[in-house]
């Protein structure tokens, strides 16, 4: 929906207004429709728009806001939004899907509204019920901050699953907050440095989890958490929501189908054109079908296809589009798009891209933005309903642990799937659950970061897993929801918001998530054997729903996972030129990664001896190099 920034000083006074403006300009792409700047004075207990303030030295802090107008396109939805007396100031990025219900309830209680934005509903809920009462009533996706100058406090919150991003930096009495980390580069108090302690985690898992980032001192606010800053400089973080503990309930697929349909319909609220991101997978196909049935006008869908039929999902996209009766837009992603979009994607992500399909998503968002301002996606289903192969292997390992322990001898310390499948099975199920969520392997870290022990990254993930109740697949579901899913959602948010498009995620409706936690284990993942066992043994409840709508062949075909023909793209003349003329020289000069190891893999690829390990090495090395180059330039 939008982007915001904030700067607050515990010492009192001295807000750097030009820096706040530069911070806002850094995230302006997130909200091209409107902007606002608001100053705060906690010691004087007042706030005013910055254009009405003559003496910036009187200010303790301020907000900047860039708006993408989705609901209530009028000036009544302008942000930062304030209470009638100016004592409470709100900035909000996201959508609240039950805002209409709360608006009617509040009106019945005598509360007056200036417009019909969900932002104003949040403000009135805060005035009526306080901070916690407000949070308890919100259903949707959000990152928000409220400054209450009467109490001398700034409170910040991020939605339960982390659909909307939020970062903070706190040093020497100064707190900075922003929708994207690049905003901090514009503040003179912030010095950009790479957090080398987390490089091993980045190489292994292609992201840093929970509150960690690759910018030293910068933290993500974890999903379902609040942050409270007081004018004396104290900062407290608290968790207000977590995925419910799992329990064995009764299977009711009709009710599950109704919950998904209701979640999709609730997220169709919009005053601007809306469409879906149709990958051809069963999750986005179900969302598309429900959205099309509930839409008054013919729905538009947007899909990525490839020239290489081995990775393109064009046939399945066509089947889903025909079934839903939608206007299907197909976008061909080529090596030229890869070369042209690589550094843009890195800049918008605020870090190295984890999955190569990030660049394809960027193309999709750019083209979709010509027609719609909102996209619904199928993200979140694989994490909550156990859709990845690694859930199947966990179920197998629980059933036949001896087989996995025997398989350790095949794993070695290589970089491929054998290590991810068997590498740590001899130690514990928990070790193997963590390793199976890695993209790389210990050998990759060893070659690119000589002297760095990958065990530190693995231990950090094990520590996180140890705090999650339950066992086996049920425990793994929450682990994935708290580590991999937030990064996937950040990718969705930043690639779509880069082009003024809002991304919505119906599968992460809280009632639907609660229903997933009540499914019997056998309806999530089970250790079946035989032909197509992995497809029959994962995400079983949702696949049954998909079979009912699209047929068995559609529901149980091999999962491709939006693959990109990476080796083919690296060898394309445009990409090859960028590697040799820009990225490899920059990598050598930076000194973070072993240049000789990367250059060796590049030569092997050019000579036709390249393996999957070579391509993986190049992908992670080029991504990190491009990002470091950008922050050093800033």
Whether 157 and 225 have beta carbons less than 8 Å apart is answered as yes
**DSSP H helical ranges for 88-237:** 99-108, 118-137, 199-205
Cα–Cα distances (Å) from 288 to 300, 386, 507, 561, in that order, read 9, 21, 12, 18
What the block records as the tokens of 541 is: 């409840």
> Which CATH superfamily is 253-384+485-556 part of?
HUPs (3.40.50.620)
DSSP-H helix ranges across 227-332: 253-266, 282-294, 314-324
Query: For strand 153-158 and strand 274-277, is the pairing parallel, antiparallel, or unpaired?
Result: unpaired
Sequence-separated (6 or more) residues with CB below 8 Å from residue 33 = 67, 68, 69, 73
- pLDDT range class, residue 227, cuts 50, 70, 90: very high
- Confidence tier at 608 by pLDDT (50, 70, 90): confident
Considering only residues 223 and 417, tell me which one the structure prediction assigns the higher pLDDT.
223
Examine the pLDDT at 52 and tell me if it is beyond 80: no
> What does the block give as tokens for 456?
């530190």
- Residue 37's H or E segment, with its range, is strand 34-41
Q: Are 366 and 340 in contact (CB under 8 A)?
A: no
Question: In the 8-state DSSP scheme, what is residue 370?
Answer: T
Tell me the average pLDDT of the chain.
90
Region 130-144 average pLDDT: 97
Cross-strand partners of 303: 330
Q: Whole-model pTM? A: 0.94
Q: What is the pLDDT of residues 251-285, one digit of tens each?
A: 899 999 999 999 999 999 888 889 999 999 999 99
The strand pairing partners of 602, in sequence order, are none
Enumerate the β-bridge partners of residue 525: 538
Is 48 strand, coil or helix? strand
List, for residues 403-434, the tens digit of each pLDDT value.
Answer: 777 666 666 555 556 666 666 666 788 988 99
CA 394 to chain centre: 25
pLDDT attached to residue 55: 60
Is 70 exceeded by the pLDDT of residue 618? Answer: yes
Angle formed at CA 97 by CA 278 and CA 269, multiple of 5 degrees: 60
The token pair at 629 is 């180059």
Query: Mean of the pLDDT values across residues 506-528?
Result: 95
* Percent over 90 (pLDDT), the chain: 66
Average pLDDT for 313-336: 94
Distance CA 439, CA 442 (A): 10
From residue 151, give the alpha-carbon distance in Å to each of 154, 155, 245.
9, 11, 36
Chain mean position to CA 120: 26
For residue 590, the SS3 value is: helix
Residue 8's pLDDT is: 94
Give the pLDDT mean for 58-80.
80
CA 451 to chain centre: 31
Residues of the chain with CATH 3.60.20.10: 2-239
For CATH 3.40.50.620, the residue range(s) in the chain are: 253-384+485-556
The mean per-residue pLDDT over the stretch 456-462 comes to 93
At 447 the pLDDT is 87
What is the structure's pLDDT at 6?
97
CB 95 within 8 A of CB 118: yes
Q: Are 124 and 112 in contact (CB under 8 A)?
A: no
Distance CA 393, CA 526 (A): 9
Long-range interactions of 516-520: CB distance < 8 A, separation 24+: 516/384, 516/385, 516/477, 516/541, 517/243, 517/244, 517/245, 517/246, 517/247, 517/384, 517/477, 518/246, 518/247, 518/248, 518/249, 519/249, 519/251, 519/256, 519/385, 520/248, 520/249, 520/250, 520/251
Nearest to 399 by CA among 476, 478, 472: 472
What was the pLDDT predicted at 210? 94
Which pLDDT tens digit goes with each residue over 285-320?
999 999 999 998 999 999 999 887 777 888 999 999
Architecture of domain 2-239: 4-Layer Sandwich (3.60)
């Amino acid at each position: 929906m939008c982007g915001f920034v904030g700067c607050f000083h515990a010492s009192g006074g001295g807000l750097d207004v030009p820096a706040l403006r530069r911070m806002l300009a850094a995230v302006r792409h997130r909200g091209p429709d409107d902007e606002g700047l608001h100053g705060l004075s906690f010691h004087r207990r007042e706030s005013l728009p910055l254009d009405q303030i003559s003496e910036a030295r009187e200010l303790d802090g301020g907000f900047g806001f860039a708006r993408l107008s989705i609901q209530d396109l009028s000036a009544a939805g302008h942000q930062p939004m304030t209470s009638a007396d100016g004592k409470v100031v709100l900035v909000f990025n996201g959508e609240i899907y039950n805002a209409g219900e709360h608006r009617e309830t509040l009106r019945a209680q005598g509360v007056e509204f200036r417009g019909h934005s969900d932002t104003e509903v949040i403000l009135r809920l805060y005035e009526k019920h306080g901070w916690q009462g407000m949070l308890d009533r919100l259903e949707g996706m959000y990152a928000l901050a409220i400054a209450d100058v009467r109490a001398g406090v700034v409170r910040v919150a991020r939605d339960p699953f982390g659909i909307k991003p939020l970062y903070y930096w706190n040093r020497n009495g100064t707190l900075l907050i922003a929708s994207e980390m690049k905003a901090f580069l514009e503040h003179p108090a912030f010095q950009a440095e790479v957090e080398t302690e987390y490089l091993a985690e980045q190489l292994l898992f292609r992201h840093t989890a929970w509150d960690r980032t690759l910018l030293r001192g910068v933290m993500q606010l974890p999903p379902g958490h609040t942050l409270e800053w007081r004018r004396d400089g104290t900062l407290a973080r608290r968790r207000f929501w977590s995925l419910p503990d799992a329990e064995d309930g009764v299977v009711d697929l009709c009710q599950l189908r109704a919950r998904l349909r209701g979640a999709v319909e609730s997220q169709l609220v919009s005053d601007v054109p809306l469409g879906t991101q149709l990958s051809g997978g069963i999750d986005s196909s179900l969302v598309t079908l429900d959205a099309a049935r509930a839409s008054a006008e013919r729905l538009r869908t947007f899909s990525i296809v490839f020239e290489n039929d081995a990775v393109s999902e064009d046939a399945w996209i066509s089947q889903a589009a025909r079934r839903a009766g939608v206007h299907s837009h197909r976008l061909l992603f080529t090596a030229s798009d890869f070369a042209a979009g690589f550094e843009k994607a890195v800049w918008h992500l605020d870090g190295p891209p984890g999955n190569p399909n990030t660049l394809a998503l960027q193309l999709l968002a750019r083209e979709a933005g010509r027609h719609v301002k909102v996209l619904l996606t199928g993200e979140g289903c694989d994490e909550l309903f156990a859709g990845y192969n690694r859930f199947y292997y966990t179920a197998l390992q629980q059933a036949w642990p001896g087989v996995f322990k025997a398989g350790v001898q095949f794993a070695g310390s290589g970089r491929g799937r054998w290590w991810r499948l068997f590498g740590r099975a001899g130690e514990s199920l928990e070790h193997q659950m963590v390793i199976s969520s890695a993209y790389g392997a210990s050998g990759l870290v060893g070659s690119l970061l000589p002297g760095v022990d990958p065990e530190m990254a693995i231990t950090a993930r094990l520590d996180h897993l140890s705090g999650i109740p339950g066992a086996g697949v049920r425990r793994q579901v929450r682990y994935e929801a708290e580590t991999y899913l937030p990064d996937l959602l950040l990718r969705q948010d930043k690639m779509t918001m880069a082009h003024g498009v809002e991304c919505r995620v119906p599968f992460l409706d809280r009632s639907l998530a609660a229903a997933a936690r009540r499914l019997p284990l056998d309806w999530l993942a089970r250790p079946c054997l035989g032909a197509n066992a992995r497809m029959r043994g994962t995400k079983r409840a949702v696949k049954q729903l998909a079979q009912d709508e699209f047929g068995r062949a559609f529901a149980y075909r091999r999962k491709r996972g939006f693959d990109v023909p990476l080796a083919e793209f690296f060898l394309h003349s445009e990409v090859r030129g960028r590697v040799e003329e820009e990225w490899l020289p920059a990598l050598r000069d930076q000194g973070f990664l072993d240049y000789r190891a990367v250059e060796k893999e590049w030569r092997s690829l050019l000579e036709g001896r390249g393996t999957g390990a070579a391509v993986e090495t190049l992908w992670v090395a080029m991504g990190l190099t491009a990002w470091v180059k950008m922050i050093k330039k800033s």
